[in-house]
Structure 1
Amino acid sequence: MNFNFKSLIKLACLSVITLTAISCSNESTIDPVEPDPSTERTYHLVVGSSSTGNSATYTQGATVEELLDPTKTFTFEGFGFEVPSTRTARVYTSNDGNTLYNLNYGGGDISKYDYVSGQNYNLDLTTDVQAVMGTAYPRWTKLDENYAMLQYVATENIYDDPNAASPVYLRTSATITIALVNLETMSIISNNSFEFPWSEAEASQGIYTSRIDAPVVSNGKLYYGVAKSLYDPITDARGTMVYENIETLVVDYPSLENPTTLTSTLAEGSTNGYRTPVAHKDELGDTYQLVTQGDVSLVRISNGTYDDSYGKFNIKNLLGHNAEANTGWFYVGDGIGYVPVLNTDEGDSASSNWDVVRVDIYNKTAVKMDISLDLWLRQYQWASVIDGKLFMALTSLGGEGNVYIFDPANATSTGFTKGAVLKTGTSDASYIGLF
C-alpha cells in the first residue's frame, strides 16, 4: 500500500482549519439575549382620590412581574405615598423608574423624588417656578430623559381706550411663556415670552389662543398643540368656540425662539389635549397629532407642515357613534396606538362612558377594545410600553379593575390580557396612570 504523506498532512491541516472555522462560526452566531430594559425597571401606579379638580394624588411602586400577575392585588386603601399637589399632581418618571417628577399644579413648584420601595419616596429637589412662569398654574411635559418644558398662556382683552366711557373691544391677546427645565438639577435653564402669532380675521371675531400643551420635538423644533376660545365683549364672558381649522405653535428648540404657526382645514378642533400626550413622532419621523375637540381624528405633520396627502384619519366614523378624544393617546410603535375615547352620545366628559380604541395610523383602522368596565378617563395621564405591549391601569370609577396588557399585534377587540387586580380605595377615586 502506498501512502502520500504530503497529501495526508495537507488533509489533516485542512480538517483542523475546517473544524476551527465551524467552531468559530457557531460561536459567532450565539449572541447573549439581552433583557428588554422596559422589563427590568420599577413602574408606578398612580391614583387620583376624586373626580373633581382638587383631587389628592397617591402613588406606589410595582415590578413587571407583579403587574403581570392576575393573583396580585394592588390597593390604595390606607396605602400609598401622597404626591404633594394643590390639585391633581402632574407626574412623570425617569426611564429607569427610580425617579418620580411632579408638577405641583396650583402650588407653583416642580419636584423630584427618589423611589425607595413600595410607598416609600424621598424628596430630592424642589424648585419654585412662579417667578419665571408668572403663575402657580403652569403645565408641563417631559420631553426626554434630560429635559421637560413648562408652558402657560396669559390673556388680556384689549380696547381702543380703556379709560373711555364705552371703550371699543379690539381683540384678546395671548402671551405665551415657555421654559426649559433640566431634570437633573430641576432648574430652569432658558425661557421665553412672546405674543401668540394671531390673525386679524380671528381676532376680529374675538377668537384667541387660550392654551398650549403637550409639545413634541422634531428636527430642531417644538410643536405645541393649541386650544382657542371665544370672547364675547357684549356679555364680557366666553362664548361658544366653533373651530374652523386646526393649529400648531412651532418654536425653535432648544433656543425657544422664532414662534410661528401651522394651520390647516383638514380637521376642526383643538390639538392641545388635557394631561396626556397628544402628538407622537413615529419611526419614520412624522408626527401624528390628535384632534381633541370635535370629532375624534388624527392628522399628520410631515416636513414641518400639515400633510394634505395623509388627510384626516376620521376615527369617529369607524366607531358608529359620536365621539371625542379630549385627553390624548398612547403610541406603541409600528403605527399602532391606543386612544381613550368618550362616547358623546351617552354623556359628557364627566360621565363614565369612555372606551379604549386601538388605532392603526398607517392603514386608518380603529377597533374598540372589549373592556367591560364603566371607564372614566378624563384625568388619565399615562400608560407604559413594556416589552412591546401597552400596559394601562383601568378600573371603574371608585371600583375595581385590572392592569390591562394590550398586544399591538392583535387587531381584534379582545387583543389584551389582564394582569394584577386594582382597587381604588375610595368611592370616587380612579387610576390616572401607570408610569
Structure 2
Amino acid sequence: MNFKYLSRFACLSALSLMTFSCSEDDSPSSEPSNSSDYRPYHLVIGSSPTGESETYIQGTTVEELNDPNKTYTFNGYGREVPSTRTARLYTSNDGETVYNLNYGGGDIAKYDYISGQNYDLLLTTDIQAVMGTLYPRWTKIDDNYAMLHNVTTEHIYEDPDDENSPYLRTDATVTLARVDLNTMTVLENRSFQFPYDEDNSEEGIHTFRIDAPVIANGKLYYGVAKRFYDALTGENGTMVYDNIETLVVDYPSLENETTIVSTVAQGSTNGYRTPVAHIDENGDTYQMVTNGSATIMKISNGVYDTSYNKFNIGSLLGYNAEANTGWFYVGNGIGYVPVLNTDLGDNSSSNWKVIRVDVYNKTAVEMNIPIDLWLRQYQWASVIDGKLYMALASLGGVGNVYIFDPSSTSADGYTTGAVLQTGTTDASYIGLF
C-alpha cells in the first residue's frame, strides 16, 4: 500500500502555499476505538479550494463524533485518497467500504476500511475508455450500483470544415455507464444525443452537463445545465435560462431518453458535488434549482407538479440566496441546504449559510452557525438516528461536528460534537460520509 500522510505534504510548506502546520502541538488523532453500536463514519478534508486538491480521509465512531472533548486533526494523520482534483467519494451503507472517483485521473477505486487512517485498496478500474474522458462525474445509486455520466459538445456548421459558414446548432452527446460496486466493473453503457429543442439549438443553447441522478419508478432523473454558444464570437456567452429541464432515461437499460421541462422556475438542476434531488416517503422527488434564487421543485408521476408550483427559499431569507451545490434530506419533508449569500460575495467567498427547509410547508430557517463557512466543495452529510451530522469548519480554521435536529424549527436547533481542525489557510472539510 502506498500511504502518503498529510504531514509529508505539510512539511513542504517552503515549496507550496498549501501548507499544514508542523507544530509539535498538533498531535494526530488517536486511533478510533472499534467498540461502537453504530457503523463507522468517515471525515474527509480537501487541501485547497481551487484547482488541483489533495484529499484525505479518516474513520471514526458515532460516539466520538458526539464527544465535544474529542478533537480531529489531519496534521500528520489521514489516508490520502488519490485525486487529480478533489476526490468524489461515497461509502457503502454499512460504512465499511469507501468508493472514489479520481476526477481527472480517469479511474474509480474501492477501499476496505480497517480503522482510523487505515484503508486497504481493493480494486481500481480505468473508466477513461468507456467514458471518453478523464473527467466524468458519478453518483452512487444504491449499495450495489453507481452511475458514471458525461456530456461532450460539438458546434455544427453548414460546412463542417468552415466555421465561417452558417452556424446550425450545438450537439450534446450524453455518455452513461452503470458500475457494479461489488466488482467495480462497467455494465450497461450507452451514448446518445441529448434530446434538443430545435429553436433553442439554433440560438446556440445546449446542454453541457448532467449530474446527480435519482431513481423513481424505474427511471433515472438527471439534473441538467445549459450553455449559450455565441456563433458571432465563437465563444460561450451569458446563459439566460427561461425554464428548468431534467433528462429521463429508463433504468437499468439507459434507453428511451426524454426530458421534462417547467417554466415555473429558471436555472440549472445539476448541482455541483452534493445531492440535488431527493425522493421523500411518498415517492415524490424534490429537486433543487442550483443557480439563480434558491428554489425547490417537485416531480410527481414523472412530471413537474404544477400544483406545487415552486418553493422559493431565497424569497424568505431577505437576501439573494443561491443553492448552487445541492442539499441534504433528513425525512418527513425536512432538509438542510447550503446557501450562498450572493449579496456578500461569489462562490469563492466564505458567505455560506445552512438553511433548514420544510418542503411540505415551504418554510426556511437560517441556522445560527457562529463561524464563516465556505461550502462550495462540500459533498456529504450523514443522517444518524434521525439527525443530520455535518462537518463544518471555517476555511483554514476550526469548527465542529454539527448535529441538526429536524424536529426543531429554531435557528439554534442543533448541538455540537467533536472539534474539527483544518491546520492550513486553504483546507476545508468536504463531508462526513
Residues in 2 aligned to 1:39 and 1:234: alpha-carbon distance in whole angstroms: 63
Amino acid at match of 1:204: E
Q: Structure 2 residue aligned with 1:91, among 89, 93, 100?
A: 89
Given the alignment of the two structures, is residue 201 of structure 1 paired with residue 207 of structure 2, yes or no? no
Residues in 2 aligned to 1:194 and 1:164: alpha-carbon distance in whole angstroms: 25
Structure 1 pair 211–164 and aligned structure 2 pair: CA distance change class (3 A): closer
The structural deviation recorded for 1:205 is 1.1
Amino acid at match of 1:245: N
- Report the equivalent of 1:425: 423
Please give the residue correspondences for 1:244-283 in structure 2 after superposition, counting only pairs within 5 Å.
244-283=242-281
- Report the equivalent of 1:18: none
- Report the equivalent of 2:26: none
Residues in 2 aligned to 1:171 and 1:416: alpha-carbon distance in whole angstroms: 51
The structural deviation recorded for 1:381 is 0.1
Residues 383-404 of structure 1, C-alpha deviation per residue, up to 9 Å, x if partnerless? 0000000000000000000000
Aligned-partner SS, 2:65:
helix
- Report the equivalent of 2:11: none
Aligned-partner SS, 1:367:
strand
- Report the equivalent of 1:343: 341
Q: Structure 2 residue aligned with 1:397, among 391, 395, 398?
A: 395
Alpha carbons 2:212, 2:277 under 8 Å: kept? yes
Please give the residue correspondences for 1:26-105 in structure 2 after superposition, counting only pairs within 5 Å.
40-105=38-103
Please give the residue correspondences for 1:248-397 in structure 2 after superposition, counting only pairs within 5 Å.
248-397=246-395
The structural deviation recorded for 1:223 is 0.1
Residues in 1 aligned to 2:80 and 2:235: alpha-carbon distance in whole angstroms: 37
Residues in 2 aligned to 1:402 and 1:328: alpha-carbon distance in whole angstroms: 21
Structure 1: state its 5+ residue gaps: 1-37
Residues 8-48 of structure 1, C-alpha deviation per residue, up to 9 Å, x if partnerless? xxxxxxxxxxxxxxxxxxxxxxxxxxxxxx96100000000
Amino acid at match of 1:308: T
Residues in 1 aligned to 2:206 and 2:168: alpha-carbon distance in whole angstroms: 12
Residues in 1 aligned to 2:309 and 2:162: alpha-carbon distance in whole angstroms: 48
The structural deviation recorded for 1:278 is 0.1
- Report the equivalent of 2:146: 148
Residues 191-236 of structure 1, C-alpha deviation per residue, up to 9 Å, x if partnerless? 1100000001111110000100000000000000000001011221
What percent identity do the matched residue pairs reach?
72
Given the alignment of the two structures, is residue 127 of structure 1 paired with residue 125 of structure 2, yes or no? yes
- Normalised by the length of structure 1, the TM-score is 0.91
Residues in 2 aligned to 1:166 and 1:137: alpha-carbon distance in whole angstroms: 31
Alpha carbons 1:39, 1:387 under 8 Å: kept? no
- Report the equivalent of 1:175: 173
Amino acid at match of 1:374: D
Residues in 1 aligned to 2:164 and 2:241: alpha-carbon distance in whole angstroms: 30
Residues 90-138 of structure 1, C-alpha deviation per residue, up to 9 Å, x if partnerless? 0000111110000000010000000111111110000000111000100
Residues in 2 aligned to 1:39 and 1:359: alpha-carbon distance in whole angstroms: 30
Residues in 2 aligned to 1:430 and 1:423: alpha-carbon distance in whole angstroms: 9
Residues in 1 aligned to 2:355 and 2:37: alpha-carbon distance in whole angstroms: 25
Which runs of at least 4 in structure 1 moved beyond 4 Å after TM superposition?
none
Alpha carbons 2:373, 2:395 under 8 Å: kept? yes
Given the alignment of the two structures, is residue 231 of structure 1 paired with residue 239 of structure 2, yes or no? no
Alpha carbons 2:90, 2:100 under 8 Å: kept? yes
Amino acid at match of 1:344: T
Aligned-partner SS, 2:233:
coil
Aligned length: 398
Residues in 1 aligned to 2:148 and 2:289: alpha-carbon distance in whole angstroms: 22
- Report the equivalent of 1:406: 404
Residues in 2 aligned to 1:39 and 1:208: alpha-carbon distance in whole angstroms: 50
Residues in 1 aligned to 2:166 and 2:177: alpha-carbon distance in whole angstroms: 34
- Report the equivalent of 1:185: 183
Aligned-partner SS, 2:63:
helix
- Normalised by the length of structure 2, the TM-score is 0.91
Residues in 2 aligned to 1:113 and 1:289: alpha-carbon distance in whole angstroms: 31
Please give the residue correspondences for 1:156-175 in structure 2 after superposition, counting only pairs within 5 Å.
156-164=154-162, 166-175=164-173
Residues in 2 aligned to 1:129 and 1:81: alpha-carbon distance in whole angstroms: 23
Residues in 1 aligned to 2:350 and 2:75: alpha-carbon distance in whole angstroms: 22
Greater Cα radius of gyration, structure 1 or 2? 1
Amino acid at match of 1:281: I
Amino acid at match of 1:111: A
The structural deviation recorded for 1:163 is 2.7
The structural deviation recorded for 1:78 is 1.2
Alpha carbons 1:271, 1:290 under 8 Å: kept? yes
Residues in 1 aligned to 2:163 and 2:76: alpha-carbon distance in whole angstroms: 59
Structure 2: state its 5+ residue gaps: 1-35
Structure 1 pair 395–167 and aligned structure 2 pair: CA distance change class (3 A): same
Residues in 2 aligned to 1:166 and 1:101: alpha-carbon distance in whole angstroms: 46
Superposed CA RMSD = 0.9
Residues in 1 aligned to 2:223 and 2:37: alpha-carbon distance in whole angstroms: 32
The structural deviation recorded for 1:165 is 7.3
Alpha carbons 2:157, 2:163 under 8 Å: kept? no
Structure 1 pair 218–39 and aligned structure 2 pair: CA distance change class (3 A): farther
Amino acid at match of 2:223: G
Residues in 1 aligned to 2:208 and 2:396: alpha-carbon distance in whole angstroms: 32
Aligned-partner SS, 2:245:
strand
Residues 335-376 of structure 1, C-alpha deviation per residue, up to 9 Å, x if partnerless? 000000000000001100000000000000000000011100
Amino acid at match of 2:76: G
- Report the equivalent of 1:24: none
Residues in 2 aligned to 1:412 and 1:379: alpha-carbon distance in whole angstroms: 27
- Report the equivalent of 2:27: none
Residues in 1 aligned to 2:41 and 2:49: alpha-carbon distance in whole angstroms: 23
Amino acid at match of 2:61: T
Alpha carbons 2:149, 2:210 under 8 Å: kept? yes
